[in-house]
Amino acid sequence: MLTYLANPARFMRWSGPPLVPLAVATALTLAAGLYLALAVAPPDYQQGESVRIMFVHVPAAIMAEGVYYVIAAASFVALVWRHPLAEIAAQAAAPLGAAFTLVCLVTGSLWGRPMWGTWWAWDARMTSVLVLFFLYLGYIALVNAFDDMSRGARAASVLALVGVVDLPIIKFSVDWWNTLHQPASILRAGGPTIDVTMLVPLAVMALGYVLLFVTLQLVRMRTALNVRKARALLLAAPSRRGGATAAGAPPDATPVLR
């Protein structure tokens, strides 16, 4: 499947039709998730109404890490197999991952203020997520730091692979160090500890975030391919005009100065 879609023309044909259904599904899922989170889910017995920030914060945290895995995998494929669309996929995903990470950091601060009495604490989880945000920014900067786009893409791919080491630190920081964050309450050996009235809205919101990412990723990849095609046509146009003039001129023609 990946080999088949490696052809940009095939990818453009395949990725166009699902865009509208994906956008509709994204909007409906996020609307349902917000309704369940704000109107159906009960307030927490300790945190009260402030717990509703969780329905935005937790899916953003999941996507912040998940999108980086996508970038790292695409970067690996680009470096090893020179997949034509791998670099485009990684570069398209980076700003989306940075946005999810920023939402995670901002909503985490908003949630931390009433719960911990501070907007920010330099505990292991918060600091490692901040490092992830800087990794996203560094990747984006490296892509655009060279006149030669291929050099920038290769340097950014190497950074993406090196930065993967931060992901297990984020995941296990609450187990390795004494942090303000609670241990895992969803993906754990004994099953989720969150009540189903909160788990269902959280799952719906997480699905909405995934659909949002897939939709925007396809749009960004299609846009990048169109930009490259337009750039190639602009670069080829002067040479074609020059060749036509040279071919159409008489052998002994003398240029006229005006």
Q: Which domain holds residue 75?
A: 55-177+195-225
Whether 258 maps to a domain, the answer reads no
140 Cβ partners below 8 Å, 6+ apart?
94, 95, 98, 156
pLDDT given at position 1: 56
Q: Which amino acid is at 36?
A: L
**Is residue 239 assigned to a domain?**
no
Q: Which residues contact 107 (CB under 8 A, 6 or more apart)?
A: 53, 56, 57, 60
> Does residue 249 lie in a domain region?
no
Position 162 in a domain: yes
- The count of structural domains within the chain is 1
Could you tell me if residue 255 is inside a domain?
no
Residue 123 belongs to some domain of the structure: yes
Residue 156: closest CA among 143, 137, 144 = 143
> On the CB side of 192, how many CA atoms lie within 13 Å of its CA?
10
**DSSP bridge pairs for 48:** 44
- pLDDT tens string, the chain, 258 residues long: the values are 556 666 888 899 999 999 999 999 999 999 999 999 999 999 988 888 989 999 999 999 999 999 999 999 999 999 998 887 999 999 999 999 999 999 999 999 999 888 888 898 888 999 999 999 999 999 999 999 988 888 999 999 999 999 999 999 999 988 787 777 777 677 666 667 788 999 999 999 999 999 999 999 999 999 999 998 898 888 887 766 665 554 554 544 444 433
**Helix, coil or strand: residue 130:** helix
What is d(CA 102, CA 133) in angstroms, rounded to the nearest whole number?
Answer: 7
Residue 6 lies in a domain: no
Does residue 231 fall inside a structural domain? no
pLDDT at residue 256 in the model: 41
Distance, CA of 212 to CA of 30 (rounded, Å): 9
User: How many degrees, rounded to 5, is the angle at CA 84 between CA 81 and CA 90?
Assistant: 90
